Amino acid sequence: MRWMWIDKFTDFKSGSHATSVKNVTLAEEHLHDHYPGFPVMPGSLIIEGMAQTGGILLGATNDFKHVVILGKIPKMTFHSWVVPGDTLTYHAKLVDERPEGGLTEVSAKVGDRLVADGEIFFAHVDQSVNGPSGAMIDQKNFVFSMRLMGVMNVGKAGDGSAPAAESAGSGTS
């Protein structure tokens, strides 16, 4: 299984913000154990979804020239839970972006109901920033360059038509 915890982007403005959705289904095996008889989407995976939304946003801002990794989560609050059948909407806003990394404000909602909100801080780990040791990281291991950039194709009018170039990043890989 590919470690993808978002299904598609519904809005993507490189350098500014991104919105993605994740449909939660009972076919996801971990829900049978988390918890038996009471399936709820693990908070850690909700964070992963928000991090993928924010991380791809940051990556696209630099045309994926940097390897983006989750550095830390300075703040995260969970307000409610998510069950199979729910559609999670993740929103990430790029607050700050520098050669060393970036800071995003993120939220997760089901409809209008707030599930979680907080901040996620990303670091750029690659040769151009951190010296030769960064070069050991194979970009192919990262979700940002796994030829899955199709998830970034935002149908502007809801008809699946190709996004305008300026709003969807370059989609390289």
Partner 1 sequence: MLSDAEIFEKVQLVLVDALGVDDDEVTLGATLEGDLGAESIDFLDIFFRLEKAFTVKISRSEFLPDALFSPDSGFIKDGLVTPEGIAELKKAAPHFDADKLAKNPKIETIKDLTTVQTLVNFVRNKL
Work out whether 60 is an interface residue with partner 1 (CB under 8 A): no
Interface stretch with partner 1, choices 14-22, 57-65, 81-89, 98-106 (CB under 8 A): 98-106
* DSSP bridge partners of 9: 20
Query: Which residues within the stretch 18-37 sit at the binding site for partner 1 (CB under 8 A)?
Result: none
Q: Closer to partner 1 by CB, 91 or 124: give it.
A: 124
DSSP 94-144: EEEEETTEEEEEEEEEETTEEEEEEEEEEEE-SHHHH-GGGGGS-GGGSGG
Work out whether 101 is an interface residue with partner 1 (CB under 8 A): yes
Q: How many residues bind partner 1 (CB under 8 A)?
A: 11
- What whole-number distance in Å separates Cα of residue 16 and Cα of residue 30? 33
Minimum distance of partner 1 from residue 50's CB (angstroms): 17
Query: Which residues within the stretch 67-86 sit at the binding site for partner 1 (CB under 8 A)?
Result: 71-72, 74-75
- DSSP annotation of 147: S
CB 39 within 8 A of CB 84: yes
- 2, 98, 140, 147: residue in contact with partner 1 (rule CB under 8 A): 98
Minimum distance of partner 1 from residue 152's CB (angstroms): 26
**φ/ψ (deg, to 5) at 16:** -130, -70
CB 50 within 8 A of CB 120: yes
Residues 6+ away with beta carbon under 8 Å from 73:
47, 118, 119, 120, 121
Element (H, E) at 48: helix 43-61
- 79, 96, 128, 155: residue in contact with partner 1 (rule CB under 8 A): 96
- 100, 133, 141, 173: residue in contact with partner 1 (rule CB under 8 A): 100
Asked about 34 being catalytic, the answer comes back as yes
Query: Which residues within the stretch 123-162 sit at the binding site for partner 1 (CB under 8 A)?
Result: 123
Binding site for partner 1 (CB under 8 A): 71-72, 74-75, 96, 98, 100-101, 103, 121, 123
> Catalytic residues, which ones?
34
